Amino acid sequence: MKKVFGRLKQNKYLLAGVIMTGIAVLLALVSIFWTPYSTTAMSAAEKFDAPSFRHLFGTDNFGRDIFSRVMKGMGTTILISTLVVLLAGAAGILIGALTGYFGGIVDEIVMRITDAINGFPSILLALVVITLMGSGRQNLIISLAIVFTPSFVRIVRSEFIRLRDADYILRARLMGVGKLRILFVHILPNIFSTFWVSVMIGFNNAILAESGMSYLGIGVQPPDATLGMMLSDAQGYLTTAPWYALAPGLSIVWLVLGFSLLSEGIRRQA
């Protein structure tokens, strides 16, 4: 424990990252069980209340408490981003490991496919998937996962190519270690430092992508709150109720900045 704190003290990036993401994740976790007010209850008397101690971030056009909705929205955004990165990361490791280690014609085909996917702007690609499968939380996760997989494949693959001819792998092979064991027990642990950074970056991109998709009105649907959707709703009231747009906007900045610092911290630590 002491060692962890010592490290944090030295590594200011890590410290700031841990604090910022810590707060965000904590709020999101709390929102599962409790929010200061209901996130959907409307109140005509409290339409567009400015931020106050009663409503920390003010209220929106339906008199709903924005702080509660931001908490819930952060939870949704983090959950979706996590699932996207988990799915895309797992697929990335599997595909990247196999193609990187074995190479050959399959590698060639898979890489061209990832090139093709990379060629499209990610939002556009996700849009295509959503229009084919219909909107909704599940499909949003799947479509974003598809979009994010190629970047993981590339990183994992290049690491596997670098390590497959390393001396210790050669030795293991000579000793008759099974291929799967070499892949996932000998090589995989050694690429984690690089992989973690890309996971963090991927996580950030997933947050932005999810917000972007919700902003465009696809993905998670009302009355569920997500940060992107709140931002889009708030846009009509920019001058009359600026806090409505500021709250979800700054929350996205906070999340992305937190995870950026965290990934920078991890990179420097490694």
Partner 1 sequence: MKKKFSILMALLLVVALGGCAGDTGESSGDKSSSATGEPVYGGSVVVGVQQDIDSLDPHKATAAGTKEILFNIFEGLVKVDENGSLINAVASDHKISDDGLVYTFTLRENVKFHNGNKVTAEDVKYSLERASGLLDGTALISTLKTIQSVDIVDEQTVQVTVGSANTELIYSFVAAIIPAGSGEDAEGTPIGTGPFSFASYKPQEGIVVKKHADYWQEGLPYLDEVTFKIINSPDTALIDLRGGSIDIYPYLTDSQASELKDSFQILAAPSNVVQALFLNNAEAPLDNVKVRQAICYALDKDSVNEFVMGGNSTPVSSAMLPTLKEYYVELNDMYGTGANIEKAKQLLTEAGYPNGIDLEITVPSNYEVHVQTAEVIAEQLKAAGINAKINPVEWNTWLEDCYNGRKYQTTISGITCDATPGYLLTRFQTESSKNFVNFANAKYDELYVKAQNSLDLKEKADYYKQIQTILCEEAGSAFIQVPPITIAMKQNLGGYKFYPIYVQDMSTVYWTK
Note the residues at the interface with partner 1 (CB under 8 A). 40-42, 44, 47, 61-63, 135, 217, 221-223, 232, 235-237, 239-240
Q: State in angstroms the smallest separation of the CB of 60 from partner 1.
A: 10
Q: For residues 167 and 240, which CB has a smaller minimum distance to partner 1 in the complex?
A: 240
Q: State in angstroms the smallest separation of the CB of 229 from partner 1.
A: 11
Q: State in angstroms the smallest separation of the CB of 243 from partner 1.
A: 15
Q: State in angstroms the smallest separation of the CB of 222 from partner 1.
A: 5
Quote the CA–CA distance of 19 and 269 in Å, as a whole number: 16
Task: Say whether the peptide bond before residue 189 is cis (omega within 30 degrees of 0).
Answer: no
The residue type of 115 is: D
The DSSP call for residue 54 is: S
* Tokens of residue 162, six digits: 């670098």
Asked if 270 and 263 touch (Cβ cutoff 8 Å), the reply is no
Q: For residues 2 and 240, which CB has a smaller minimum distance to partner 1 in the complex?
A: 240
Q: For residues 51 and 63, which CB has a smaller minimum distance to partner 1 in the complex?
A: 63
254: CB partners within 8 A, 6+ apart? 20, 24
The residue type of 235 is: Q
* Tokens of residue 174, six digits: 């000579």
Q: For residues 35 and 149, which CB has a smaller minimum distance to partner 1 in the complex?
A: 35
* Tokens of residue 117, six digits: 């996917």
Q: Which residues pair with 59 in a beta bridge?
A: 65
Q: State in angstroms the smallest separation of the CB of 56 from partner 1.
A: 22
**DSSP states of 190-232 as a string?**
GGHHHHHHHHHHHHHHHHHHHHHHHHTT-SS-TTS--HHHHHH
- Other beta carbons less than 10 A from residue 80's beta carbon: 24
Q: For residues 130 and 255, which CB has a smaller minimum distance to partner 1 in the complex?
A: 130
Q: State in angstroms the smallest separation of the CB of 130 from partner 1.
A: 12
Q: State in angstroms the smallest separation of the CB of 136 from partner 1.
A: 9
Quote the CA–CA distance of 95 and 110 in Å, as a whole number: 8
For 124, counting Cβ atoms within 10 Å of its Cβ (0-12 exposed, 13-18 middle, 19+ buried), the class is exposed
Q: For residues 135 and 190, which CB has a smaller minimum distance to partner 1 in the complex?
A: 135
Q: For residues 210 and 264, which CB has a smaller minimum distance to partner 1 in the complex?
A: 210
